[in-house]
Chain A
Amino acid sequence: MARAVTTQRKAINTTLAWAVGLLIFFPILWTILTSFKTEAQAISDPPVFLFFDWTLENYAVVQERSDYMRFLWNSVIIAGGSTILGTIIAIPAAWSMAFVPSRRTKDILLWMLSTKMLPAVGVLYPIYLLFIKLGWLDSRIGLVIVLMLINLPIIVWMLYTYFREIPGEILEAARMDGASLREEILYVLTPMAVPGIASTILLNIILAWNEAFWTLNLTAAKAAPLTAFIASYSSPEGLFYAKLSAASVMAIAPILIMGWFSQKQLVRGLTFGAVK
């Protein structure tokens, strides 16, 4: 029996949920609106909401000051590269944990997660010295590797939880049919795990995209991603709200759009595969 819901109750739910949703979204909405105002309108008292002279001037100023596409491209390569590399390394590990668990599996998983607790600032000097030795300073490859290592525990853990949902009998059956381990992973497991892998990749792209300590401290000009782009706007010079808003929108828009288009996979991803 389905729950009977009166229209009235549904209307109340809808109003309440929309109100809360808009409240949570409001800071982003306000930033977007402000980015189209002039600096004077951005601080006008009382604040103007929609009825102002919309202008694209702030975006032009920001673009003139910094070459947005270069930062964007670096962000794409670093976030994408580290996630894909991490996923390739994590899939076999997660597979073996899910299907050939041992007594230590859970300990290894928790140990992996615990490596994320090392405070980044404390190891800045060691890592910086290491990067100089390796010639990785201000290079995309260095950042791809560091971000891969940072997110690897999360990737392994998410994939592990997804893989565990796949019934073991199917693998048994494949094995009976004489499938090799490689075939088993490639033709049986992977197709079933694609949604889980997609969610994992999406979520980790976001985490890598937003990482702001290493991407800022290990780059200069060549490999600097959008986190460095925003660091040149993070202190005001005179009237600056509109320009700051424009720069902020430019920094978050790509990931916001990607997130919205892949909402369904992402919602799965956001749950870290931990809840069915």
Chain B
Amino acid sequence: MATQHSRSAARLMMAPAVFLLLVWMLVPLSMTLWFSFRKYLPLRGGDLGWAGFDNYVRFVTSSAFWPSVMTTLLIVGGVLVVTVVLGVLLAILLDQPMWGQGVVRILVIAPFFVMPTVSALVWKNMFMDPVNGLFAHLWKFFGAEPISWLSEASMQSLIMIVSWQWLPFATLILLTAIQSLDSEQLEAAEMDGAPPLARFFHIILPHLSRAITVVILIQTIFLLSIFAEIFVTTQGSFGTKTLTYLIFQRVLESQNVGLGSAGGVYAIILANIVALFLMRIVGKNLDA
């Protein structure tokens, strides 16, 4: 029912946000593209001229490239699986009648407030340290040999740390969704003698699909560029080098901005592939 007048007004109102984001995207993007075709070595005199596709070829043929893509996908996928599965279970639990629900909810959302750097530091030192960590004490208490988490089970540890940070988010979205579920429908199913599992798969899960979509979409955006957790814990050792971390190493440790920029372009491509993939699979749910 919008009039021509309100349409142009709407466009005008959208303009600042769109313009700013366009600048924010285009300026760094074009600079990255420019650098990626240059031989740019800050410690060897800066911009040393045209490099053609050298940087792109070198980045993709490096032995670290494909493992880093796999690691990225594994971390994103792992955290998504853990947070969605645990989130659904936790949401169902918190939806049950109980005493002190408000306090429990506070306890559950607290990890979301913790800076990634702080959470990585706390997990690494106070829990996963193989000598003084709490886990080591626990293992010793049960007579087991303590595990050096960050080297022996590096990916699992990392996924656990990141999942801890994002579980509150998943839980809350799913909890809100469950609370909007028509309880009469559930009761009717219960009366009909549908077993709990059937009720879960036929009523609760379909109802949650939109909420799960949102969780996956938002978390993927944040998880693809995860950095602080790796920087603090393993610094990319033991197979935890993600694409983002590899770019960091090329740009800052090897001081090869051209090569790192080419990596940045690959990272953008990967992000877009993941985004397309996501849209295909879950995008329809967003329209609902």
Contacts and interface: CB of A to CB of B under 8 A. Distances in A.
B31 A123 contact: yes
Given A227-B117, A260-B106, A271-B176, A122 B127 contact: no
Interface in A115-171: 115-127, 129-130, 149, 152-153, 156, 168
Interface stretch (A52-60, A64-72, A86-94): A86-94
Given A45-B137, A121-B252, A270-B169, A34 B126 contact: yes
Contact of B20 (A89, A95, A226, A230): A89
Contacts of A126: 27-28, 31-32, 35
B14 A93 contact: yes
B114 A252 contact: yes
Interface in A65-117: 89-90, 92-93, 95-97, 99-100, 102, 106, 108, 110, 112-117
B107 A270 contact: no
B229 to A, nearest CB: 10
Interface string B10-34: 1101101110110011011101100
A198 interface: no
Interface string A167-201: 01000100000000100000000000000000000
Interface stretch (B49-57, B93-101, B151-159, B194-202): B93-101
Contact of B115 (A172, A251, A263): A251
Contacts of A10: 96-99
Interface centre among B97, B117, B221 (most CB of A within 10 A): B117
A1 B13 CA distance: 48
B263 interface: yes
B27 A17 contact: no
Contacts of A244: 121-122, 125-126
Contacts of A113: 217, 221
Nearest to B6: A100
A213 B228 contact: yes
Nearest to A100: B10
Contacts, number: 288
A14 B14 CA distance: 48
A270 to B, nearest CB: 5
Contact of A252 (B118, B164, B265): B118
A259 B118 contact: no
A24 B103 CA distance: 13
A46 B123 CA distance: 18
B112 interface: yes
Please classify the interface of chain A as helix (H, G, I), strand (E, B), loop, or mixed, using the class held by over half of its residues. helix
Size bracket of the B interface: 35 or more
Interface of A: 1, 3, 5, 10, 13-14, 16-18, 20-22, 24-25, 27-28, 30-31, 34, 43, 45-47, 89-90, 92-93, 95-97, 99-100, 102, 106, 108, 110, 112-127, 129-130, 149, 152-153, 156, 168, 172, 181, 206, 209-210, 212-213, 226-227, 230-231, 233-234, 236, 240-241, 244-245, 248, 251-252, 255-256, 259-260, 263, 266-267, 270-272, 274-276
Interface of B: 1-2, 6-7, 9-11, 13-14, 16-18, 20-21, 24-25, 27-29, 31-32, 35, 42, 90, 93-94, 96-119, 121-123, 125-127, 132, 134, 137, 141, 164, 167-169, 172-173, 176-177, 180, 183-184, 187, 210-211, 214, 217-218, 221-222, 224-225, 227-228, 232, 243-244, 247-248, 251-252, 257, 260-261, 263-265, 267-268, 271-272, 275, 279, 286-287
